[in-house]
């Protein structure tokens, strides 16, 4: 059975429709990368999946159960975790404390602090530093580790490489590739770096002005089709793969 399905999801901010009729399906171990220009609706979509943005139409199904009406904390308990844009750590607390707080009410499962440190070894030397003193890449690793400690089936990662140095991006994706290879967790990743997204994804979804411009396996499209879709350049032959 499909692990995670979104059917015809529309999201509004007041009178503005930020996401219009998006549908996706994901199985365990699969990665969907969402790409699109600024303002395309990527973050609104992710927040709607996490249950943080509630002004939506359509359905969200986890393991065949309709979870559309559930609040964010209830979705986390069912197995959806998000590392949000901006990371939202407790900056006065240490890395260890940020991670331990996340594990307090976690679902039972394989993720604990030692496993997070095995997956993100870059956190070991900074485990007792205040999160406010970390680099962007270190904060990103803490935020993803925190999400993993809830023992999710679906991991939502907004703006993975935004603001990170090339070395930090490499480190984070090295860990994410190991996670993908384990095959247990489905990931939805918003990624501004097109090459990185095409490399990492099983499926890409390109959004423009809230709509699906292109959706499918990365190798189903030419580079020109993908960049046209990214910038919202319409062409009957390139709009759908």
Ligand X SMILES: Nc1ncnc2c1ncn2[C@@H]1O[C@H](COP(=O)(O)OP(=O)(O)OP(=O)(O)O)[C@@H](O)[C@H]1O
Write down the least CB distance from residue 9 to ligand X, Å: 13
| Burial class for 98, CB neighbours closer than 10 Å (0-12, 13-18, 19+) | buried
Contact 34, 190 (CB under 8 A): yes
Q: Taking the complex as a whole, how short is the minimal distance between the CB of residue 11 and ligand X, in angstroms?
A: 8
Name residues contacting ligand X, limited to 44-73 (CB under 6 A): 44
Shortest CB 25 distance to ligand X, Å = 21
Q: Is 40 in the site for ligand X (CB under 6 A)?
A: yes
Rounded (10°) angle between helices 136-148 and 95-104:
20
Of 101 and 198, nearer to ligand X (C-beta) is: 198
Size of the site for ligand X (CB under 6 A): 11
Q: Name which of 63 and 209 has its Cβ closer to ligand X.
A: 209
DSSP class of residue 192 equals: S
Buried b (16+ CB within 10 A) or exposed e, 207-226: bbebbbbbbeebeebeeebb
Q: Considering only CA atoms, which of 137, 139, 200, 199 is closest in space to residue 172?
A: 137
Task: Give the nearest distance from C-beta 16 to ligand X in angstroms.
Answer: 5
CA 122 to chain centre: 21
169 binds ligand X (CB under 6 A): no
Nearer to ligand X, 107 or 211 (CB): 211
- CA 211 to each of CA 34, 170, 175, 229: distance values in angstroms, whole numbers, following the listed order: 12, 30, 31, 10
Contact between 205 and ligand X (CB under 6 A)?
Answer: no
> In the bound complex, what is the minimum distance in angstroms from residue 38's beta carbon to ligand X?
3
Interface segment toward ligand X; rule CB under 6 A; list 13-21, 24-32, 62-70, 131-139: 13-21
Q: Count of residues for the chain?
A: 241
Binding site for ligand X (CB under 6 A): 13, 16, 18, 36, 38-44
């Amino acid at each position: 059975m499909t692990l995670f399905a979104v059917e015809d999801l529309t999201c509004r901010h007041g009178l503005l429709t930020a996401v219009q009729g998006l549908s996706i399906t994901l199985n365990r171990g699969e990665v969907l990368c969402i790409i699109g220009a600024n303002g395309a609706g990527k973050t609104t979509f992710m927040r709607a999946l996490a249950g943080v943005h509630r002004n939506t139409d359509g359905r969200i199904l986890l393991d065949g159960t309709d979870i559309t009406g559930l609040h964010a904390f209830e979705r986390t308990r069912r197995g959806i975790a998000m590392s949000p844009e901006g990371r939202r750590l407790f900056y006065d607390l240490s890395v260890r404390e940020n991670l331990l707080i996340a594990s307090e009410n976690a679902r039972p499962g394989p993720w604990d602090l030692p496993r997070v440190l095995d997956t993100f070894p870059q956190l070991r030397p900074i485990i007792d530093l205040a999160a406010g003193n970390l680099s962007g890449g270190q904060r990103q690793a803490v935020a993803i580790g925190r999400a993993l400690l809830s023992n999710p089936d679906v991991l939502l990662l907004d703006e993975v490489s935004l603001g990170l140095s090339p070395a930090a991006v490499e480190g984070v994706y090295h860990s994410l590739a190991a996670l993908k290879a384990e095959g247990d967790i489905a990931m939805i990743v918003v990624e501004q770096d097109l090459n990185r997204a095409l490399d990492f994804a099983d499926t890409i979804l390109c959004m423009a002005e809230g709509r699906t411009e292109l959706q499918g396996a990365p190798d189903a499209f030419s580079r020109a089709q993908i960049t046209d879709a990214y910038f919202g350049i319409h062409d009957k032959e390139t709009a759908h793969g």
